Structure 1
Amino acid sequence: MISPDLPAELKAALDARLQGFSRNEAASRAAAISRTYRDGGGSGTIKSETDALAYALARMPATYAAVAASLNALVEIRPDFAPTSLLDIGAGPGTASWAAAQALSSLQRFVLLDANASLRALALELAGTRLREAHYELGPARKLLADAERADLVVASYMIGEIDEAERTALARLMWEKAGEALVIVEPGTPAGYARIIALRAQLIAAGAHVAAPCPHDEACPLEAPDWCHFSQRLSRSRAHMQVKGAEVPFEDERFAYVALTRTPIASHPSRVLAQPVVGKAEVTAKLCTPSGLSIAKIPRRAKADYARARRWRWGDAVTGA
């Protein structure tokens, strides 16, 4: 399992790019870009080197943490998965490729696709040793993807929310066609982000995909509105990150939703913890998605071994024997 924090090499590359760069200007641009994303916009507002670096400082750590957690979940369920090639759709500054390179040492070929020239330029500057030979293509995702070679692993992080429903449906079909074995989609952990994930999940299961994580089954999601499936990953904030975000605490909790799909069915699925368990003196209460549906597990203190194990459960964990 890889750490949710940016690799040392990537941190050093970002720090080097900050030399002579105004933190106040970066903070101002990061705030404007964040407002655009909250209002449903996308990366089209990132039009300069300053914009790209501000975006990377504000969003790269949290995006990396969410993708790392999603890939960790896939590897936990499929420890035999050893892809050699990656397609990173809507790659931006290369965040998902960095996470995949850390999580999967077997990867040798990296192809990144994005339409934003400023983010592509920054990604190439930050590439480092592991991604030095990566191929980064500039243009519309669907067109580039249609012409791309298949890859063992396809990743799309924080990008399907930037396109309309018809485009998402077409892009998802193409992503699955290009995925030799696995497809991982990560979105913000909001009801809207979850809805996009669930819609693509249903579309791709109908096309023959199998869910590896987080769901322990290929059936319809058992949650009912206003509930939604999402997870939280804590990550450290650097001093520069805190300055750009205007933050006072040295950590951040990134809420995200994801689905990891594979061509090979999962033989035996663990349950998934859907919220932080409540640990009481008499019992541990945990909300679980199980292979047979939603469950509220209550593990009594008198069952000492089970209780001790349940006390260690955390939101997002895959657990057995529940």
Structure 2
Amino acid sequence: MTSPDLPAYLTATLASRLQGVSRTDAAQRSDTISKTYRSGGGSTTIRTESDALAYALARMPATYAAVIASLNALQEIRPDFAPASMLDCGAGPGTATWACAEAFDSLASFTLLDANPALRALAMELARENDRSIAYTLGDATAKIADAASADLVIASYVINELTDTARERLVAAMWAKANDTIVIVEPGTPAGYQRILDARAQLIRAGAHVIAPCPHDDACPLVKPDWCHFSQRLQRSRVHKQLKSAELPYEDEKFIYLAVSRAPIAPRPSRVLAQPVTTKIAITTKLCTKDGVIAAVAPKRDKATYAKFRKLDWGDAVFEHSSSE
């Protein structure tokens, strides 16, 4: 499994760019950008080099962690997947690209698309300083993807939330057309993010895609509102990260939802832990999404083997076998 923490080379490069920059100013820029993202404004407030740096320092660690967690889930089910090329749609500062590069040693070709000049400039700088060759096209991903070469792995990380329904459908369709093998989409772990993933999932299945993760099937999602599917990834905060976010805790828990689909059928597809398992004195109960629907899988303490297995389970884990249910 690839570590969810931002690689040292990226942390060091970003921190070096902060030399001589007011931490107060960077924190204020970061706060403004974060508020704009939460309100659905996307990257519209990122206009300068300082804005891009503040955004990357504050948001890149968590976004990177969510992408790595999604790629780890993909690799657990498809350990033989070795993409040679990738296409990053709405790449921003290249966060998903750097995550894919860490997860897949096989990658040799990196194509990035984004309309934000400041974020593109930062991504190119990060690539140059870390001896990585990338091709980064400046422009709206929904338009520029038409001219991009196909790739083994196509990814969109924290991107489709910025698009209208029509633009989102168009981008998902174009991503599928460009994918030689696999698509990964990562979104914030909110009810709205979950719904966007559900919509993309249904669209891709209609187009012939097969779900790799997190779902154990291609059927309709069995969850009923107000419940929604999402996961959590813990990452360590650097000193700079804590300063910019005015945070005291040495870690952050990023809530996210993801979808990985393939052109080829996937078997076997494991069940998925949908919430933190609940441990009592007599048993461990785990909420599982299975090929037959959502169940409460129970491991009684008297069943030592199953109990020991369930003690190792965490939210988001794949379960290739499960115990009895209630």
Q: TM-score, normalised by structure 1?
A: 0.99
Corresponding position of 2:82: 82
Aligned pairs for 1:12-91 within 5 A: 12-91=12-91
Distance 2:200 2:132 in 1: 32
Distance in 1 between residues matched to 2:321 and 2:203, nearest whole Å:
31
1:252-294 deviation per Cα after TM superposition (whole angstroms, max 9, x unaligned): 0000010001111111111100000001121100000011111
What is the aligned partner in structure 1 of residue 292 from structure 2?
A: 292
The one-letter amino acid of 1:97's match is T
> Residues of 2 paired with 1:163 and 1:247: CA distance?
30
* Partner in structure 1 of residue 7 of structure 2: 7
Q: Secondary structure at the residue paired with 2:146?
A: helix
- State yes or no: 1:104 paired with 2:137: no
Describe the superposition over 1:202-229 as per-residue Cα deviations: whole angstroms up to 9, x where unpaired. 0000000000000010000000110000
The equivalences for 1:117-196 within 5 A come to: 117-127=117-127, 132-196=132-196
The aligned residue for residue 209 of structure 1 is: 209
* CA-CA distance at 1:43 after TM superposition: 0.5
Tell me how far 1:176 sits from its aligned partner. Answer: 0.5
Q: Is the 8 A contact 1:29 1:54 kept in 2?
A: yes
Cross-structure match for 1:250: 250
Letter in 1 for 2:310: A
Preserved contact between residue 9 and residue 128 of structure 1 (Cα < 8 Å): no
Report the alpha carbon displacement of residue 143 of structure 1 after superposing the two structures with TM: 1.5
CA contact (8 A) 1:110 1:134 kept: yes
What residue is the counterpart of 1:230 in the other structure? 230
Post-superposition CA distance 1:135-193 (Å, at most 9, x none): 01100112210111100000000010101000000110000000110000000000000
Within 2, Cα distance between the matches of 1:163 and 1:4?
Answer: 27
Of the structure 1 ranges 196-205 and 120-129, higher mean CA displacement relative to structure 2 is found in 120-129
Quote the Cα distance in structure 2 between the aligned partners of 1:85 and 1:32: 35
Contact 1:85-1:107 within 8 A present in 2 as well: yes
Residues of 1 paired with 2:131 and 2:69: CA distance? Answer: 20
> Distance in 1 between the 2:95 and 2:202 partners?
26
Kept after mapping to 2: 8 A contact 1:110/1:131 = no
Partner letter of residue 100 of structure 2?
A
Give 3-state SS (helix, strand or coil) of 2:44's partner.
Answer: helix
Contact 1:10 1:128 in 2 (8 A): no
Match of 1:139, as an amino acid?
G
What RMSD over aligned residues (CA atoms) do the two structures have, in Å? Answer: 0.9
1:320 positional shift: 2.0
Query: Which residue type is aligned with residue 111 of structure 2?
Result: V
Structure 2 unaligned regions, length at least 5: none
On the 8 A contact 1:98/1:131 being kept in 2, the answer is no
Q: Would you say the 8 A contact 2:9–2:130 is kept in 1?
A: no
1:133, distance to aligned residue in structure 2 (A):
1.1
Secondary structure at 1:37 match in 2:
helix
Report how many residues are paired: 322
CA apart distance, 1:130 = 6.3
Partner AA of 2:291 in structure 1:
P
- Give the equivalent residue in structure 2 for 1:317: 317
Q: What is the identity, as a one-letter code, of the residue corresponding to 2:112?
A: L
User: The residue matched to 2:33 in structure 1 has which SS?
Assistant: helix
- Cα distance in 1 for partners of 2:321, 2:199 equals 30
Deviations 1:109-135 (A, max 9, x none): 000100000000001111157662110
Quick one: percent identity of the two aligned structures? 64
For 2:210 and 2:99, the matched residues in 1 are separated by 23
Distance 1:226 1:101, change over 3 A: same
Q: Distance in 1 between matches of 2:203 and 2:321?
A: 31
Find the aligned partners of 2:285 and 2:148 in 1 and give their Cα distance: 47
Structure 1: distance between partners of 2:142 and 2:36: 23
> Separation in 1 of the partners of 2:25 and 2:64?
23
